Amino acid sequence: MHIKRNFYFQLGIFSTTLYLTNLVFNSMIFDIYFIIPLWKIYAFNTVLVLITFWTIKLLTKTKLNLLFSFIIASINKMLLTILFVYPIIHFDGDKQGLIVTFFIIYFIFLFFEIKSFQKVFDR
């Protein structure tokens, strides 16, 4: 139980810190029009990490291989990301900055997720 609380706490601190840093960076340097508000992008990525964590925990309890569980969770994550990014793709205005921002955030969260899973599942 201690591992889960530590993971949730680290995810919350990581997400909040990254969001505030991005908010300051965007307001000072770039002026990106967000079709989807920045906080929703961060909330979505945080929820994706949680869904992946819960999916892997559930599937490893059913005696599936950890790698297979991670692949199933990643496929779910990709499908949810496509649904989330769909309005951005069909936006007529300038969407390049928004897409780049979204995927930078996505890959930062993916890096955090993999590093966290290494710590949680190596024990």
Question: Are the C-beta atoms of 105 and 18 separated by less than 8 Å?
Answer: yes
Q: Domain extents for the chain?
A: 2-121
Q: Which of 79, 110, 101 is nearest to 34 (CA)?
A: 101
Q: What is the pLDDT of residues 21-51, one digit of tens each?
A: 888 887 777 666 667 788 888 999 999 999 8
What is the distance between the alpha carbons of residues 41 and 7, in angstroms, rounded to a whole number? 20
- Taking only the tens place, the pLDDT of each residue in 50-103 is 988 888 888 778 877 777 878 888 888 889 988 988 887 777 766 777 777 888
Most confident of 3-12, 54-63, 102-111: 102-111
C-alpha span between 67 and 87 (Å, rounded): 32
Instruction: Single out the residue of 81, 71, 97, 69 nearest to residue 45, CA to CA.
Output: 81
The terminus-to-terminus CA distance of the chain in angstroms comes to 13
